[in-house]
Amino acid sequence: MDDIETSNIVEAEPSYSEAGASLNKTVPSTAEAYQAWAGIDVSKATLDVCLLLEVGKPAFGKFSNDKQGHSQLFKWAVRLSKGSRVHFCMEATGSYGNAFALYLADVKQMVSVVNPSFIHYWTLSRSQGNKTDKADARAIAEYCRIEKPSLWRAAAPEVRELTALVRHYDNLKEHATQLTNRLGGPDVTSLVKESLTKLLKQVNDEISIVQKLIDEHINNSPTLKRDRDLLITIPGIAATTAAKILAELPDVTQFASAASAAKYAGMTPSQFESGTSVRKKTRMFKAGNRRLKTALYMPAMTAIRYNEPVKQIFQRLKHKGHTGISALGAAMRKLLMIAVGVLRTQKPFRADYATAKP
């Protein structure tokens, strides 16, 4: 799930925070009770929607992806559903779809935000030939009707602000790296070098400013500050990584277990075996939250030296013949599971707890 920004989890209803959207108690908390399903194909400018009812032909519409369009789409779906409960569903497309998902949460509607790869392979399995916005919207609606995906809940406002700041920080860091690489090019002239140097200084200054904003935002939120202070008790996790975990990881109380949190992040071993002859090396599952994986890579490198539970699993896998990158992936998974455990129990890290069997 490369750079997928979604709170959709297989085992449990996801949420970025327990202070998520207030849900209407008259609306069922599961998808089974719905009688209408709206699939939304999201793009930057428009929302293509297909509404399926229990009886009758599907209805199609196209709306602008802005506040006015969100209101029009919602009213259109409610009018055509004629009192039936509507389960809205869309692919996780980052910022383009977040606004409409938040709108639906604000008006106390149920919505699922699904990994695009799930829709893609589900569509392939049904031999859908057409690839149009209209066809994609119908495929999402059919997926929603048949598969009944888990329901999405909005993050708390302070978490959404933290997520925006952390991602802006990461984008600035990437830009700084690009400028640094260009400065090192053999064909850079003196005038270009002077311009790149100025740009790099501006970006680095902005990085420092945003870092301060992140620290201030966390310190001004009792919940975020408490969780940040707990995370940095884990060897390998510093304040910057803790902020990224809090920005990218849904509220841990929504996970059935620490293992399900690792699955959400895509830190699950993927085996490939067939018959008696095909035995490919175990690798990390490619789906998941790319930003969370990236955030834990360097901390795991530190943890395999100074965090005893992480160090043990890394050395054990290396001893069994696993590659370094495979063992490091397991170390990342263990580090995330420890972080989830600390946040769930609201207790500082203890190595004996991290190594104890459940």
Task: Give yes or no: residues 137 and 51 share one domain.
Answer: yes
Task: Give yes or no: residues 57 and 139 share one domain.
Answer: yes
Cβ atoms of 115 and 287 within 8 Å: the answer is: yes
How far does the chain reach from its first CA to its final CA, in angstroms? 29
How far CA 45 is from CA of 65, 118, 130, 201, 309, in Å, comes to 5, 24, 21, 34, 48
How far CA 12 is from CA of 252, 254, 262, in Å, comes to 10, 6, 13
pLDDT value of residue 283: 53
pLDDT value of residue 270: 52
How far CA 355 is from CA of 86, 129, 276, 330, 351, in Å, comes to 45, 50, 35, 14, 6
Cβ atoms of 119 and 140 within 8 Å: the answer is: yes
Cβ atoms of 335 and 300 within 8 Å: the answer is: yes
CATH number at residue 84: 3.30.420.10
Task: Give yes or no: residues 135 and 164 share one domain.
Answer: no
Of 187, 329, 169, 136, the C-alpha closest to 240 is 169
In a domain, 237, yes or no: no
If one counts the domains in the chain, the total is 3
Task: Give yes or no: residues 329 and 291 share one domain.
Answer: yes
pLDDT value of residue 15: 29
**DSSP characters for 276-298?**
TTEEEEEEE-S-S-HHHHHHHHH
120 lies in which domain range? 31-147
Task: Give yes or no: residues 37 and 136 share one domain.
Answer: yes
Task: Give yes or no: residues 135 and 165 share one domain.
Answer: no
Exposure letters 289-301 (e unless 16+ CB within 10 A, then b): bbbbbebbeebbe
pLDDT value of residue 19: 28
In a domain, 261, yes or no: yes
Write down the pTM of the prediction. 0.75
In a domain, 22, yes or no: no
In a domain, 89, yes or no: yes
In a domain, 21, yes or no: no
In the block, which residue shows the tokens 């920080």? 169
Task: Give yes or no: residues 162 and 200 share one domain.
Answer: yes
3-state secondary structure of 270: strand
Task: Give yes or no: residues 125 and 162 share one domain.
Answer: no
Averaged over successive runs of 10 residues, the pLDDT of the chain (358 residues) comes to: 36 29 38 75 94 91 95 94 91 84 90 86 76 89 92 88 95 96 90 95 97 97 97 96 93 81 75 49 62 92 93 92 87 93 92 62
Max CA distance (Å), the chain:
70
Task: Give yes or no: residues 161 and 140 share one domain.
Answer: no
Task: Give yes or no: residues 340 and 263 share one domain.
Answer: yes
In a domain, 76, yes or no: yes
In a domain, 132, yes or no: yes
pLDDT value of residue 9: 31
Task: Give yes or no: residues 284 and 333 share one domain.
Answer: yes
How many C-beta neighbours within 10 Å does residue 269 have?
14
Q: 274 φ, ψ to 5°?
A: -150, 120
Task: Give yes or no: residues 116 and 169 share one domain.
Answer: no
pLDDT value of residue 235: 95
186: left (phi over 0), alpha (psi -120 to 50) or beta: alpha
In a domain, 2, yes or no: no
